[in-house]
Amino acid sequence: MEKTTYYDTIQSPIGDLMLVSDGKALTGLYMNNEKHAARRAMAIRDKKMLKHPREQLQAYLAGELREFGLALAAEGTPFQQRVWRALCDIPYGETISYGELARRIGQPKAARAVGLANGQNPISIVVPCHRVIGADGSLTGYGGGLARKRWLLAHESKGSLI
């Protein structure tokens, strides 16, 4: 039996965002809707099913929320899952390097593999892959584009909740 997938889109300061759910948990948050058009074509648009994730994302983007309280169900390898869980431990407004993230998951020599797993994160923003930067402090690759990464980091660096 095939799983039913639900989606909704919202407008944001960084462009349209597509939220995807399996009906129980958030399974995706995508910034580039064109790239993920096939996912959307195989899903049912359901605003009610994604009401809670949409409200939390809008509160985050408005500067009213720092930590998400959502059920998440990203599909990935065990290594990717470890990386994604570690991303969730990076505090709001802070950044770390890929090397530091590799150390945090107990694989200090795996910075490149961590970078690849980071780039495969299907739940952007909520699983804050944008908080990982180069060892020299530079903004490095980001699936949503460096302009979006720059915006998200600047948004979080404002410090106080509205």
The 3-state DSSP class for residue 112 equals helix
What would the pLDDT profile of 39-58 be if each residue is shown by its tens digit? 556 788 889 999 999 999 99
pLDDT score, position 41: 60
What would the pLDDT profile of 28-39 be if each residue is shown by its tens digit? 999 875 555 555
Query: What pTM does this model have?
Result: 0.89
Separation of alpha carbons 102 and 89, rounded Å: 13
Fold of 78-157: Arc Repressor Mutant, subunit A (1.10.10)
pLDDT band at 160 (very low <50, low <70, confident <90, very high): very low
The 3-state DSSP class for residue 70 equals coil
69, 141, 17, 38 alpha-carbon torsion, rounded to 10°: -110
Question: Where does 6-61 sit in CATH, by number?
Answer: 3.30.160.70
The ranges assigned to domains in the chain are 6-61, 78-157
pLDDT band at 120 (very low <50, low <70, confident <90, very high): very high
pLDDT band at 162 (very low <50, low <70, confident <90, very high): very low
Query: What value does the mean pLDDT take over residues 104-126?
Result: 94
pLDDT score, position 15: 92
Separation of alpha carbons 108 and 49, rounded Å: 40
88 is catalytic: no
Catalytic residue among 129, 132, 152, 153: 129
